[in-house]
Structure 1
């Protein structure tokens, strides 16, 4: 399942912004991977006190956000999703801007991670996949 982890300055989070971020990032992932992914997208939000976030060697004075998308590594195979990394990064950036505004762009970092078969698990079981696995990429 696509897993999105967001670390951002906690003063950016309230009920409305949390709902907006979750919605827009879910749509960003589904927009690139396909509609089948929508119900599988997990979004976790972690607010970090501004004084606990360093930027350039000092506590951050501007809003900062790091977004990490972890998906099966085959999602980055051009035969599965052409230009996947660039498309995920652009869609996630657009989603964060839609939720929080243009002011976050300067300090918004997006990382895409491809998880190899056998390197994750669900319910205590190692998840494996190959070309016979039915879903395209979750």
Structure 2
């Protein structure tokens, strides 16, 4: 299951939650295929004003930071380079499309690889 956590300033998220969830789900389905739409999980973490800092000072606007949980096997595929590039590009495009194109160049995407056997659903380890 693709899991995306988006951390952004709360004022940037307000009123954009549904559009951002839809755009990120579309991005996941664009890369993985339509089957992924039903299993994509999106978390939006809003950081209150005054609690996001850059260069040692609180900021009123910051580019979102996205953590994308992905199975480690995705990096073993023959097309892994292109897959990773597409994931990063489509997720960044989705965020910029909803929250503003001016955030594109500073939005960060971190791909976190989960080894097989290290994911569980309902208290049961999921293999593969």
TM-score, structure 2 as length reference = 0.91
The change in CA–CA distance for 1:50 and 1:103 in structure 2 (over 3 A counts) is farther
Unmatched tracts of structure 2, length 5 or more: none
Q: Which residue of 2 aligns with 1:26?
A: 25
Map Cα deviations across residues 55-105 of structure 1 (whole Å, 9 max, x no partner): 112112333311111121112233365512111000000000111111222
- Confirm or deny: 8 A CA contact 1:33 1:81 kept in the other structure: no
- Confirm or deny: 8 A CA contact 1:74 1:80 kept in the other structure: no
Q: Which residue of 1 aligns with 2:76?
A: 77
* Alpha-carbon distance between aligned partners in 2 of 1:80 and 1:58, rounded to the nearest angstrom: 41
Q: Which residue of 1 aligns with 2:127?
A: 128
Equivalent pairs, count? 128
- Confirm or deny: 8 A CA contact 2:93 2:104 kept in the other structure: no
Alignment RMSD (CA, Å): 1.6
- Confirm or deny: 8 A CA contact 2:27 2:90 kept in the other structure: yes
TM-score, structure 1 as length reference = 0.85
* Alpha-carbon distance between aligned partners in 1 of 2:60 and 2:73, rounded to the nearest angstrom: 38
Unmatched tracts of structure 1, length 5 or more: 130-138
Q: Which residue of 2 aligns with 1:5?
A: 5
1:61-76 mapped onto 2 (5 Å cutoff): 61-76=60-75
1:47-58 mapped onto 2 (5 Å cutoff): 47-58=46-57
* Alpha-carbon distance between aligned partners in 2 of 1:77 and 1:32, rounded to the nearest angstrom: 16
